Chains A and B, each alone.
Chain A
Amino acid sequence: MTGTLAAVGAGMVVIGASLGISRIGSHAIDAIARQPEASSMIQTAMIISAALIEGVALFAVVVAMIGI
């Protein structure tokens, strides 16, 4: 039972994280399209913020895994 719950929790975390990362991605592409000359800086900022969201998501996944 706890395993199933953990899996559901991990799935929910993935939904949240993917929403966040997709927003970052779409806005970053918008920004790059608007200012192609700043693309390298935007990419770095994008990767940093995506990594931070990913970090939160992975915390939750780890918590879910501990529950197994």
Chain B
Amino acid sequence: MDLLTPGIGLIFWSTLIFIFLLIVLRKYAWKPILNAVKSREERIKGALESAEEVREEMARLKTDNELIIKEAKEERNQLLQEGREIKEKIIDVAKGQANDEAKKIIEAARVKIESEKEYAISEVRKQVAILSVEIAEKILKQKLADKRDQKQLIENYLKEIKLN
């Protein structure tokens, strides 16, 4: 049938027209259009990606900040702790020193008191000896007027010595 037999003229012209369309449109239409569409898509993609990057950066910065704050807090606490410890140590040292000093002073005072006491005691002994000698002199002067009495006394003394 005529409808199903392709004519040579139409084949020729349609090939020609189609090739012409293909070549011209490829250069002047499809290339710029597809390139523009592609670069636009890439730009949108790039913008989205960079937005995502910025978001991540922000999140990172935030965690960094938190970390820094935490560290600072810890450091402060540590410093305070250390200060407290140093204070206590200083106080302890001071107390110890004060104690030692006091002890020393007391010791010195005690030693002095001891020596004074001894001196005083020896002085007192001296006085007592003198006194007792004087008293004894007087008593002897009085008592030993009698000979028997003298003898008695000497015997008593001897007894005492024996006992000692």
Contacts and interface: CB of A to CB of B under 8 A. Distances in A.
Interface of A: 62, 65-66, 68
7 contacts: A62-B4, A65-B1, A65-B3, A65-B4, A66-B1, A66-B4, A68-B1
Contacts of A66: 1, 4
B3 to A, nearest CB: 7
B31 to A, nearest CB: 27
A64 to B, nearest CB: 11
A66 to B, nearest CB: 6
Interface string B1-31: 1011000000000000000000000000000
Contacts of A68: 1
Contacts of B4: 62, 65-66
Nearest to A68: B1
A30 to B, nearest CB: 35
Contacts of B3: 65
Contacts of A62: 4
B82 to A, nearest CB: 63
Contacts of A65: 1, 3-4
Nearest to A62: B4
Contacts of B1: 65-66, 68
A66 B1 CA distance: 6
B5 to A, nearest CB: 10
Nearest to A67: B1
A68 B1 CA distance: 8
Which 7 pairs between the two chains have the least Cβ-Cβ distance? Answer: A66-B1, A65-B1, A66-B4, A68-B1, A62-B4, A65-B4, A65-B3
A2 B3 CA distance: 17
A4 to B, nearest CB: 16
B40 to A, nearest CB: 22
A68 B2 CA distance: 11
